[in-house]
Structure 1
Amino acid sequence: MIQARPEKIESRELMAKAIERLNHLAEDVLQTRKNLISAAQSEVSNVAEVIISNLELLQVARSRKVSFAQNGSNFQVRAPSKDLSRVITILIENALDAAGEYGFVQARLDSQHKPGFVSIYIEDHGSGFPQSILNSAPSDWHTTKPDGNGLGLKFVYNWSLEVGGKLELSNLERGGALVSLHIPRVG
């Protein structure tokens, strides 16, 4: 009986995991497109509730603490909560990955800083964004993670455009990255 070498088995397992992640992302993209077309004009979501719910799940799943603060009171946006949840999950997971095992991640929510918008700020104490990402819009397949595929940030960028929002990426002077997502506020 011929046995596969351990490195080939490991390579196949990595490839299978990558394919599974791509399938999930493709499903998310297709579902988001359908949701936006059919429900974007009608569903109102409370960003604060979605963030708090996601943080509770992510903190348990990742065994990590994420600091959360909010400023303002009207956090209503016109977007399906499922899509908003996916966007927030991607941003927080990216920050947790960038910050490393013991790094700091903070999520802030503000409805007063940018008039007419609910702003979500996610910052980490990682190494920051490469200049190539800061110089242009996120593109497919560009990743800084060993097991990443580069579709998460691109998904968030496209989603923000679909709902009339804006995604901004920057590096903090003290180190780390800041992602700012501005979504049009209802009311």
Structure 2
Amino acid sequence: MKTYLAISLLAVAASFATTPACAQQLVPAGSEIAFTSKQMGVPVDGKFRKFDAKVAFDPKKPETANIAFSVDLASVSLGVAETEAEIAKPDWFDTKKFPQAQFQSSSVKASGGGKYEVTGRLTIKGTAQNLVVPVTLTQSGGNTTAAGSFVLKRLAFRIGDGDWKDTSMVADDVQVRFKLALTGVNAL
């Protein structure tokens, strides 16, 4: 059930795909990928502890952005060791066969006021889906924060196979939230 939440988090990672011309560095200490799923109507929160991004983004030329994002699916944290062990199994993330979720951007479009729409392909558990993620960039000092949220459909990625396909037990929608800190982004 909580495994399904973890997939949401992966989706958040995918939504971070906003980058073009200059290479930036992810600041893990200031970054987070979190998700909320519902199990029998009760919200369940989780996050991923390990993820990485290769980002090239110039705010003046967002159409040239390129981002590749990966999330270590075994790094899911739900606060319950038993649930985290369950999520690694084949019905959920199948982390032995599919250790990472990956996102590759295909386009970035400016919406004005530091807002962007990042389009790309998210692959989880061997299934790829196109995704459009709204991202807001803010800057303070030498850091840029990319933040946003979106809804991920877990069943589209085969997260929660078998008995877990019943959406009355675990909802199909997973709310993914992300905040990614970057260095090296030019002024907006």
**The TM-score by the shorter chain falls in which range?**
under 0.3
Greater relative CO (CA pairs within 8 A, separation 6+): 2
Structure number having the greater strand percentage: 2
Structure number having the greater helix percentage: 1
TM-score by length of 1: 0.22
TM-score by length of 2: 0.22
